[in-house]
Amino acid sequence: MNLKARLEKHKDTIIDQWFDRVVKTYPADTAGFLKNKKDPFANPVRNNTLAGMNAVVTELLGNGDHDVIRKHLDPAIRIRAVQQFTPAEAVGIIFFLKPIIRNILKTKYPQLFTDPKFISALWALESEIDGIGLIAFDIYVGCREKIYDLKATVERNTIYKAFHRAGLVVEDPEDGPDIRPV
C-alpha cells in the first residue's frame, strides 16, 4: 500500500487536527466561536475553512490538481488576508500539514520510517505541500493587492471630490477631468 493510500484512511483525522491547529491561530474568544458554532450561516469562516481544508487534503492525496486546490483554498486564504494576520501567519497554516501527517505516520506506521522508498514518497508529499503553500501565498498576495487598490481608489476619489468642490478641477469631455494649478 502506498503512502497516499495509507493517509487516505486517516483523512478525517488529518483535517480535524489541521482545523484545530488553525483555530489556535485566532484569539481565544474567536477560537471558541470557530470551534463550537457549527452552523454554516452563523459561522461562514468555519465553513469556508473546513471546505477548503477538505478539498486540499482530498487533492493532496488524490490527483493534486492545482486548479481545484486554488479554487477551494481561495475563500479560506481570502478570509485570512483581510484579517490581522501577517503573510506568514495567513499562509503558514498550509505547512501545519507536514507535522500532522508525520505524527500520524509515526503513530500508525512507525516501521515505514526505515524504508527508503517510503522516505522518498514522504519527501515528495511534503514538496506537494510546499507547492500548495505557494498557491496560498499567490492567493494572499492577490487579495492584499486588491485591498490596496481599493484603498488607493477611495483616496483618489476623496481627493478628486475635495478639489472639485474647491473649483480646482476642469473637466474636458475629451480627456476627462484634470486638476488645474491654483
Task: Tell me the per-residue pLDDT of 21-55, one tens digit each, with 9 for 90 and over.
Answer: 999 999 898 888 888 888 888 888 899 899 999 99
Q: For residue 81, give every residue at least 6 positions away whose Cβ sits within 8 Å of its Cβ, in sequence order, or none.
A: 90, 139, 140, 143, 144, 147
Quote the pLDDT of residue 177. Answer: 59
Residue with the bigger pLDDT between 49 and 179: it is 49
More confident: 169 or 152: 152
At 147 the pLDDT is: 86
Q: Give the tens place of pLDDT for each residue, 68-119.
A: 999 999 999 998 999 889 999 999 999 999 999 999 999 999 999 999 999 9
Q: Which residue has the cell 470557530?
A: 34
What are the two backbone dihedrals, phi and then psi, of residue 8, each rounded to the nearest 5 degrees? -60, -35
Are the CB atoms for 135 and 66 separated by under 8 Å? yes
pLDDT at 182 over 60: no
Residues 119/113, Cβ–Cβ less than 8 Å: yes
Confidence band for 161, pLDDT divided at 50, 70 and 90: confident
